[in-house]
Amino acid sequence: MGLFKKLATALGLSKYEARIVVVGLDNSGKTTLINNIKPKKASTFEVTPTVGFQVESFAKDNLNFTIFDMSGQSRYRELWGHYYREVQAIIFVLDCTERVRMCVAKEELDELLTHPDVSNSCTPILIFANKMDLPGALSAVDCMEQLDLQRISNKPWQIEASNALTGEGIDRGLEWLAEKLRGRK
């Protein structure tokens, strides 16, 4: 069974529209990661910074997925909160080479975790420690410590190292997500 079919099966309905929001600082690799997941990723298009947000709807394994690709630029980050209520899962993408901005990423994650639509929900949060291929990238364990992820005790979370250009690590993360959603049924 394909990964998306598994995710949808986990969500319980065959004609389900699975909704996922993808957030994280600008340049962390959100759009690249989504392009990697999308069908027809072979098409060569240049990734440019997202303005506001973009909605990606596509069918995979005969199921409909809607992914909200949010801009990470500071002036658009306030938009993220409008989608938490709408989705079954949140993906937070980190650039694990950006040691200096790790504290900004932590602040944004704090905002996310204290948002009323997140703090009282058990929406699973999948964090990608992205750009693992670049020299000087922090490991997933280092990122976990820097973001103090272990304090998250009331909802499932997971961190996976990823390379959004090649897709390495992405399937592992999505497998985890499918598992958690299955557990919520």
Which two tokens mark 48? 């440019």
**Residue window 61-100: x/- pattern of binding to ligand GTP, with contact defined by CB under 6 A:** ----------xxx-------------------x-------
If one asks whether residue 35 binds Mg ion (CB under 5 A), the answer comes out as no
Answer yes or no: are the C-beta atoms of 24 and 30 closer than 8 Å: yes
Answer yes or no: are the C-beta atoms of 91 and 158 closer than 8 Å: no
Q: Is 27 annotated as a binding residue?
A: yes
Contacts (CB under 6 A) with ligand GTP, residues 95-134: 130-131, 133-134
For ligand GTP, the closer CB: 26 or 56? 26
Q: How many CB atoms lie within 10 A of CB 70?
A: 24
How far apart, in Å, are the Cα atoms of 130 and each of 114, 134, 170, 173? 24, 9, 9, 12
73 is catalytic: yes
**Footprint on this chain of ligand GTP (rule: CB under 6 A):** 24, 26-32, 47, 49-50, 71-73, 93, 130-131, 133-134, 163-165
